Amino acid sequence: MKNLKKRLQQGEALNGCWLNLGSPLTAEIVGNAGYDWVLIDLEHGAGNEKDALSQLQALQSGTAGVIVRVESTDRRRVQRTLDMGAEGIMCPQIENATDAQIAVDGMHYSPDGKRGVAKMVRATGFGKEFESYRQGSKENILGVIQIETSEALNHLDEIAALDGVDVLFIGPSDLTMSLGIFGQLNHPLYIDALKAIVTAAEKAGKAVGILLFDPGDYKTYYDMGIRFMACGSDATFVAQGAKNMAKALNSNKE
């Protein structure tokens, strides 16, 4: 465990990166690049659960904590991912406290949740460390709830107040789409939404996260109180690197 939850609770800013190629090789490279955390994307990424397992294995010796974004709040999806060794779960398209509670329930064992118990899984060292894992799971597993719709903005306080919700994570593309201002990150409606999310999180003692499109915006969001930021992805790095190299080579043509 990389103690992501404890570090956030202590006010540390944690920087992350998306993994959406489903590749253990790019995961290993990014996981050792200096990020505090990486996110394996099962919602929009190219990989499936089997690929996530390979990525988790590749990331084990790296310096970054590993979060997995699941496709839905279905308990089976959430607990299966945790059993494979994820340190946190990101749940997309959460619109109210009921949605958030379902997500959190899948992350934690009874009496804190409804996660099924299996000892012989990777997260517990295939049974060897089950008791220590079980006892520490509540304080170690990071629950990241995505705020991506205008409806979610109506329930921020109730969502943030839930035990097990550790981060309210802003999805800029989906949120601006829902607000009818797609991609307008300087629009007053979007700025007001960000402020409301930060306020709700601060009242509940929770953290706020966001996906950046430009690292130059980091200070702006940091000054707003956002401490869990991600920028870039393995797919972006490969695409940009390939494009830049081809451009450099082609510039030498006569």
The catalytic site residues sit at 44
CA distance 204 to 125: 34
CA distance 212 to 228: 10
Beta bridge partners of 14: 228
With contact defined as beta carbons under 8 Å apart, do 211 and 231 qualify?
yes
The DSSP letter of residue 117 is P
Q: Take residue 167 and report the two structure tokens written for it.
A: 């981060």
> How crowded is residue 39: how many other Cβ atoms within 10 Å of its Cβ?
26
> How crowded is residue 209: how many other Cβ atoms within 10 Å of its Cβ?
28
Q: Take residue 58 and report the two structure tokens written for it.
A: 């590749």
